[in-house]
């Protein structure tokens, strides 16, 4: 097929020899099957912010920083330059996460290069060498549902041990390769220790897996792996080889009402300070 404009730079650099076909078009990117020498890979072309339906929620971008103070100020003020910087950080987040997770042994597509808003990585294939389907498009017998669910839980644990929470894990961003599930789509991945919403996102990711595979193996609906995983992680007891039970009993005891009210008061004070700062600071375009 004709080389799309956004892929021309990679062709010029010799990173891509030819474009085979468009594989998919999602809310944040378009993906193409490409040839690189003897290898068939995929090129993920990120859509510009004003052309995609997915918005960068503050929950995901919290704690993503830049070293340049000018860029930091521009991002805070929402200038045109600041929005470009924010967009670049959003795109590079997936690249950084993929390299970290691949090094940690997590089943993700191996990344190869990132240039001009295009991520070049392995193409995940099925037993026939075709592009692997999403697990959401596959029906599983109970035994396979249990097996794949257990496999993905191990990947979630391995990710968390590497300091990363996917943040948007579901049947729509897991591919069923010949040798098992592979996790994709990581631009919203968050730092487990540096993001205040990491626990909630981890619990949601695990609940999504439970809900999907529970359609085929209803016994999974009675499990509570998310709370168990986070409990072990918080206490420094989580390892990639940790055996999980799916059971978690919430500790009972007296509520520290004074401490709780202090946290609420502090949060309100921070919100009010931020509001006053926004009112004092003119917004530049």
The residues, any chain, with a CB within 8 Å of residue 162's CB and separated by 6 or more, are 100, 101, 103, 104, 106
Distance CA 253, CA 168 (A): 33
Q: How far apart are CA 114 and CA 92, in angstroms?
A: 8
What phi and psi, each to the nearest 5 degrees, are found at residue 181? -65, 145
Q: Which of 129, 150, 130 is nearest to 140 (CA)?
A: 150
Which of these is catalytic: 17, 126, 130, 185? 185
**Residue 185 three-state SS:** coil
Cα atoms in the 13 Å half-sphere on the side-chain side of 233 = 23
CA separation for the pair 161, 104 (Å, rounded) = 9
Name the residue among 108, 100, 101 with its Cα closest to residue 124. Answer: 108
The one catalytic residue in 12, 96, 168, 205 is 168
Known catalytic residue at 185: yes
CA distances from 47 to 31, 202, 213 (A): 10, 26, 31
Supply the DSSP string of 241-279, one letter for each residue: TPPP-S----------HHHHHHHHHHHHHHHHHHHHHHH
Answer yes or no: are the C-beta atoms of 40 and 132 closer than 8 Å: no
> Which residues have a catalytic role annotated?
168, 185
């Amino acid at each position: 097929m004709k080389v799309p404009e956004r892929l021309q730079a990679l062709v010029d650099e010799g990173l891509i020899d030819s474009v085979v076909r468009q594989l998919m078009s999602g809310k944040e990117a378009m993906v193409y099957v490409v040839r690189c020498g003897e290898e068939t890979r995929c090129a993920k072309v990120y859509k510009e912010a004003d052309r995609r339906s997915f918005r960068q929620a503050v929950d995901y971008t919290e704690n993503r920083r830049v070293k340049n103070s000018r860029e930091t100020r521009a991002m805070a003020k929402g200038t045109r330059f600041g929005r470009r910087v924010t967009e670049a950080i959003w795109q590079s987040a997936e690249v950084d996460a993929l390299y970290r997770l691949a090094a940690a042994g997590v089943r993700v597509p191996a990344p190869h290069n990132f240039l001009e808003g295009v991520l070049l990585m392995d193409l995940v294939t099925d037993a026939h060498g075709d592009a692997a389907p999403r697990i959401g498009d596959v029906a599983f017998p109970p035994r396979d549902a249990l097996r794949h669910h257990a496999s993905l839980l191990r990947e979630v644990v391995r990710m968390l041990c590497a300091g990363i929470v996917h943040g948007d894990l579901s049947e729509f961003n897991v591919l069923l390769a010949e040798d098992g599930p592979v996790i994709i789509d990581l631009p919203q991945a968050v730092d487990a220790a540096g993001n205040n919403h990491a626990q909630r996102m981890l619990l949601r990711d695990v609940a999504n897996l439970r809900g999907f595979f529970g359609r085929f193996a209803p016994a999974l609906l009675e499990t509570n792996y998310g709370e168990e995983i986070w409990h072990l992680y918080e206490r420094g007891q989580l390892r990639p080889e940790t055996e999980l039970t799916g059971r978690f009993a919430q500790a009972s005891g007296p509520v520290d009402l004074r401490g709780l009210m202090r946290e609420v008061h502090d949060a309100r004070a921070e919100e009010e300070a931020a509001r006053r700062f926004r009112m004092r600071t003119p917004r530049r375009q």
